[in-house]
Amino acid sequence: MKKTNLSLFIFCCLLGVVYAYDTNSKLDGRKAFHTWCIVKPDVPVDKLQGFINYACGIVNCAAIQVGGACFYPNTITSHASYALDLVYASRSTCNPEIGTTIGVDPSYGNCKYP
């Protein structure tokens, strides 16, 4: 009986690993574990504003516009983090000059990061 339980346990573990791999491999190009790209601390505001201008020319930044779900807090850092993650989601690259990846969802309230 113990040998059967051990075999069943090992089988279930392997099945879980295979399922997790299959599920994560269908992500939008991101790493197997879901990650987000946010602004590094102490990045100059002018550099962040420049990135927002660039990013919002290639991705939909409606959420950080007035009335958008991620407009508040109305700070350059907050808006740049959201824009940075939008680009990360679409291009699978976190800009190393201003961003870093994290494994904790930075979403808050009605503001959902991609």
49 in the same domain as 21: no
68 in the same domain as 92: yes
Distance CA 97, CA 7 (A): 49
42 in the same domain as 91: yes
How many domains is the chain built from?
2
84 in the same domain as 108: yes
pTM listed for this prediction: 0.71
DSSP class of residue 21? Answer: H
At 41-72, the pLDDT tens digits run: 999 999 999 999 999 999 999 999 999 999 99
58 in the same domain as 13: no
pLDDT given at position 86: 97
Range of the domain at 10: 1-28
67 in the same domain as 17: no
75 in the same domain as 23: no
Is residue 71 within 8 Å of 62, Cβ to Cβ? no
Strand-pair category, 36-39 with 99-102: antiparallel
24 in the same domain as 39: no
Query: CA angle at residue 33 from 32 to 36, to 5 degrees?
Result: 115
